[in-house]
């Protein structure tokens, strides 16, 4: 959904720097050792496209940080076990690191693009809480982690498998590891929440998962409408072109749908996730 002109603001992120950056960097120590000098200097037209889509992905990662912070809050509110809640509370940090990685690639490929967004619509679009904390947690975990992160993790895994440049291998490898953990955390949250859901709530959470999968299908359709030149070695969509990306998206959706079906039948336990 395009941002409304009245509320749109440029998407740009600052670093505070100094001691703050030093403390942050200690929490993701490997990133600064990566070969950032590998960033390509592509032809101008290609650089603009790369910059555009890496910036777009930075915004998606930033939005994921907000959504997953909300999942962590809901886990606390629902009284989820401490180890499970602590695990999930790490996820927003990962997403902010991913945001940094995307911004660094975008900047390296030619600098900022004027991407506008509606902060409230993108970052405040979270499910209102009800008087059923476990169900609220289950809805959020299903949509944000099990489905959204599940589909994303399959895409970034494919990017990582195909990455040739050492820097790309580091970036996609970090994301693939983290997104898979986020999706797994979602299913573990649902496994815990299941005991607190009645049949009606379970059916509603399943429906939330199916709607989230429809959104993932919509996102894949949007990529299908892009021109072929968005695919390249450094592209967030990979270099395989439309048929390859569409097959990858379908496989990701099928994998998540199969898991969702099993959860809906009560046939998914900790050993499976």
Binding site for Fe ion (CB under 5 A): 61, 95, 98, 149, 179, 182
Q: How far is the CB of 123 from Fe ion (least distance, A)?
A: 15
Q: How far is the CB of 92 from Fe ion (least distance, A)?
A: 9
Residue with tokens 């649902």: 190
Q: How far is the CB of 133 from Fe ion (least distance, A)?
A: 23
Torsion angle defined by CA atoms of residues 259, 260, 264 and 270, in that order, rounded to the nearest 10 degrees:
50
Q: How far is the CB of 58 from Fe ion (least distance, A)?
A: 10
Comparison of 133 and 172: residue with beta carbon closer to Fe ion: 172
Comparison of 165 and 180: residue with beta carbon closer to Fe ion: 180
Q: Which two tokens stand for residue 28?
A: 């993701």
Q: How far is the CB of 67 from Fe ion (least distance, A)?
A: 9
Q: How far is the CB of 148 from Fe ion (least distance, A)?
A: 8
CB contact set of 9 (below 8 Å; sequence gap of 6+)? 116, 117, 118, 119
Q: Which two tokens stand for residue 131?
A: 């008087």
Instruction: Give the Å distances, CA to CA, from 46 to 39, 42, 43, 127.
Output: 13, 6, 5, 38
Comparison of 61 and 136: residue with beta carbon closer to Fe ion: 61
Comparison of 7 and 125: residue with beta carbon closer to Fe ion: 125
Comparison of 98 and 259: residue with beta carbon closer to Fe ion: 98
Comparison of 63 and 109: residue with beta carbon closer to Fe ion: 63
Distance CA 68, CA 66 (A): 6
Comparison of 176 and 230: residue with beta carbon closer to Fe ion: 176
Instruction: Give the Å distances, CA to CA, from 94 to 136, 155, 176, 178, 179.
Output: 23, 17, 11, 7, 9
Q: How far is the CB of 272 from Fe ion (least distance, A)?
A: 20
Q: Which two tokens stand for residue 124?
A: 């405040």
DSSP state string for 104-173: HHHHHTT-----EE-HHHHHS--PPP-S-HHHHHHHHIIIIIIIIIHHHHHHHHHHHHH--SHHHHHHHH
Distance CA 101, CA 265 (A): 39
């Amino acid at each position: 959904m395009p941002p409304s002109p009245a509320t749109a603001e440029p998407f740009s992120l600052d670093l505070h720097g100094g001691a703050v950056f030093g403390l942050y960097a200690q929490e993701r120590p490997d990133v600064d050792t990566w070969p950032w000098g590998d960033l390509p200097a592509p032809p101008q037209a290609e650089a603009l496209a790369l910059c555009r889509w890496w910036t777009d992905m930075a915004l998606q990662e930033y939005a994921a940080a907000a959504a997953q912070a909300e999942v962590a809050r809901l886990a606390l509110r629902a009284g989820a076990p401490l180890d499970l809640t602590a695990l999930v509370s790490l996820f927003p940090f990962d997403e902010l690191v991913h945001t940094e990685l995307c911004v660094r690639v975008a900047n390296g490929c030619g600098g900022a693009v004027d991407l506008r967004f509606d902060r409230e619509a993108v970052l405040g679009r979270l499910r209102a809480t009800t008087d059923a904390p476990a169900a609220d947690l289950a809805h959020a975990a299903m949509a944000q982690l099990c489905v959204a992160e599940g589909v994303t993790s399959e895409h970034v895994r494919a990017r990582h498998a195909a990455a040739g440049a050492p820097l790309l291998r580091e970036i996609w490898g970090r994301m693939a590891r983290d997104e898979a953990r986020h999706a797994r955390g979602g299913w573990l949250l649902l496994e815990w929440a299941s005991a607190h859901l009645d049949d009606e709530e379970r059916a509603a959470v399943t429906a939330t998962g199916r709607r989230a999968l429809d959104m993932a299908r919509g996102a894949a359709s949007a990529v299908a409408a892009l021109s072929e030149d968005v695919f390249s070695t450094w592209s967030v969509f990979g270099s395989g072109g439309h048929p390859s990306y569409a097959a990858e998206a379908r496989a990701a959706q099928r994998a998540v749908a199969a898991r969702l079906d099993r959860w809906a039948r009560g046939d998914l336990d900790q050993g499976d996730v």
